[in-house]
Amino acid sequence: MTTTIDRVVPPQRLITAVNPLVRWALRSPLHRWLDGSVLILHVLGRRTGHRYDIPVGFTELGDRLVVITQHRWRRNLRGGRDVQVTRFGHRRWMRATLDDDPATVADTIAEFLGRFGAAGTKRRLGIVIAGDTAPTHDELSAAARSFDLGIITLTAR
């Protein structure tokens, strides 16, 4: 039997409508009541210098924070960039690196599957694995390419 891979993300209209409230809450004492796996990533546009304050879900893997996204703003992080992150109401500098090569994105998804199983991977990445066999590396690579996924890794500066 084949394995199918799908991605479940909220509609962009909902994200756009809710993000101002999420940004406000993450900067306030109310951050305690939000999911501990959400932070604000403060990114400067490479060409425009415009500051983007983007609420993102992340997963802590050892000493790194991992974000998966399909959004184009991630391209501002190519080549590695120092960014500010607001987490638990505190703002600090971190180093952001972007990996949008489907083969290595597949490696990260496979790491999530190994650590968290299919249910945990769905919750953390929005990636749904259906079927009675584990997906192959080629299937994960094809999914990363199809969904235009990139992995942002945040580490201490």
Distance of CA 130 to the CA centre of its chain: 21
User: What CA–CA distance (Å, rounded) separates 83 from 77?
Assistant: 9
Residue 24 confidence (pLDDT): 74
What domains are defined for the chain? 4-156 (2.30.110.10)
Rounded to 5 degrees, φ, ψ at 13 are -60, -40
* Angle (nearest 5°) at CA 146 between 130 and 56: 85
Handedness of CA 143, 148, 149, 150 (dihedral sign): positive
The pLDDT of residue 45 is above 70 = yes
pLDDT digits (tens, 9 = 90+) for 93-140: 999 999 999 999 999 999 999 999 999 998 888 899 987 788 999 999
Is pTM beyond 0.95? Reply is: no
